Structure 1
Amino acid sequence: MDFNSNKAIYLQIAEHVCEHIMLGTWKAEEKIPSVRDLAVQLEVNPNTVMRTYDLLQQKSIIANKRGIGFFLTPDAMQEVKSYRKAQFLEEELPQLFRNIYILGIDLDELQKRYQAFVTQNFNQN
């Protein structure tokens, strides 16, 4: 995994875990990699992964079953979407709005491009 120097590594690992959940590679109530296994896989300190897992527990995305390991919660997908949506609205959307304003992009053009994007990427039959 290539880490971005602009964001804390544990937050980038949280995004990595959330991506696995949203893509369905990790499913609700399944066991996820141990702290040590994920640290080895991502080539980071186990304490960094533990910090990630602590964050994800606070967000009700994962739960620790003492002596067994970490598991996704039954509502992990919904919790991830809620967490990622809040993150997007607070961090990324203001920057997007700033760029739209500075570049003089009108809402009609933005709406057309958004619809084309959705059609091209999500309405494939």
Structure 2
Amino acid sequence: MDFNANKAIYLQIAEHVCEHIMLGTWKDEEKIPSVRDLAVQLEVNPNTVMRTYDLLQQKAIIANKRGIGFFLTPDAIKQVKAYRKSVFLADELPQMFRNVYLLEIDLEELQKRYQTFIEENFNQN
């Protein structure tokens, strides 16, 4: 995994885990890689993965079953979407609005491009 120097590694790992959940690679109530296994896979310090897992536990995305390992919660997808939505609205959307304003992109053009994006990427009939 290539890490962005502008964002904490544990947050980037959290995004990686959340993507696996949202894509269905990891399913609700399923065991996820151990701290050590994920650290080896991503070539990071296990303490960094533990920090990620602590964050995801606070967000009710994963739970620790003592002696067994970490598991996704029954409503992990719902919790991931809530977490990712709050991060997007707080961190990414203001920057996007700034660029829209500075580049004088009108809402009609944004709406058209958004609709095209949805049709090309998600409406696969």
In the TM superposition, 1:50-61 aligns within 5 A as 50-61=50-61
The CA distance in 2 between the partners of 1:44 and 1:110, in whole Å, is: 39
- 1:123 maps to what in 2? 123
What is the CA-CA distance between 1:120 and the residue it aligns to? 1.1
Unmatched 5+ stretches in structure 2: none
TM-score by length of 2: 0.99
What is the CA-CA distance between 1:10 and the residue it aligns to? 0.4
- Report the more deviating stretch, 83-92 or 110-119: 110-119
Q: Which amino acid aligns with 1:35?
A: V
Percent identical among aligned pairs is: 84
- 2:6 maps to what in 1? 6
- 1:62 maps to what in 2? 62
What is the CA-CA distance between 1:90 and the residue it aligns to? 0.3
Residues paired across the two proteins, number: 125
- 1:86 maps to what in 2? 86
TM-score by length of 1: 0.99
What is the CA-CA distance between 1:124 and the residue it aligns to? 1.1
- 1:107 maps to what in 2? 107
SS at match of 1:119: helix
Q: Which amino acid aligns with 2:28?
A: A
The root-mean-square deviation of aligned C-alpha atoms, in Å, is 0.4
